[in-house]
Structure 1
Amino acid sequence: MGLIGEVLLLPFAPVRGSLWAVRQVLAEAERQYYDPAVVRAELALLEQQLEAGELDEQEFDRREDELLDRLEIGLQRTAGTGEGTTG
């Protein structure tokens, strides 16, 4: 795209900038959501809630499955980016 194209698209610069910002926020939210350390902490909290009687077995199993799925995805993501964590 040449100079003329850039000049013609100049009025859309704020929109392009906003889209970039939205993509960055979304990427960070996904990184935090799938962070293995965060998911492990949530699993530990879930187990504490079960032991304290705040959850029944069925609810615990449902939420545990969701967290284990997130953990698996998070570990795959970190393995793909070389950001492996030990633990």
Structure 2
Amino acid sequence: MGLISMLFTWPLAPVHGVIRLGELIQQQVEHELRNPAAVRRRLEAIEEARRSGQISEEEEAQAVEEVLRLMSGPRRG
């Protein structure tokens, strides 16, 4: 039975591969969003942009809120 099922499911192997690749990419992105070192670097970049006058206080607050929202958002999977 294994050979027969393999013959019928073989044409779908590329589809399964693409789905698995998408899942792996999603896991990596979510890991990067929640990585404390990456979050700290983003927050430091926002702070530096504010100090250098590239962004306003309101923009800084929005950017910090967005970073924290992404970091603490619901986990998938």
> For the superposition of Structure 1 and Structure 2, which TM-score range results when normalised by the shorter chain?
0.7 to 0.9
Q: CA RMSD in A?
A: 2.0
Shift of 1:30: 1.8
Q: For the residues of structure 1 that align with 2:16 and 2:72, how far apart are their CA atoms?
A: 33
Normalised TM-score (structure 2): 0.78
1:7-86 equivalences in 2 (<5 Å):
7-73=7-73
Aligned-partner Cα distance in 1 for 2:48–2:23: 35
Separation (CA, whole Å) in 2 of partners of 1:6 and 1:23: 23
Length, aligned pairs only: 74
SS at match of 1:45: helix
Separation of aligned partners in 2, 1:53 and 1:13 = 53
Identity %: 26
* Rounded Cα–Cα distance in structure 1 between residues aligned with 2:72 and 2:23: 23
Unmatched 5+ residue regions in structure 2?
none
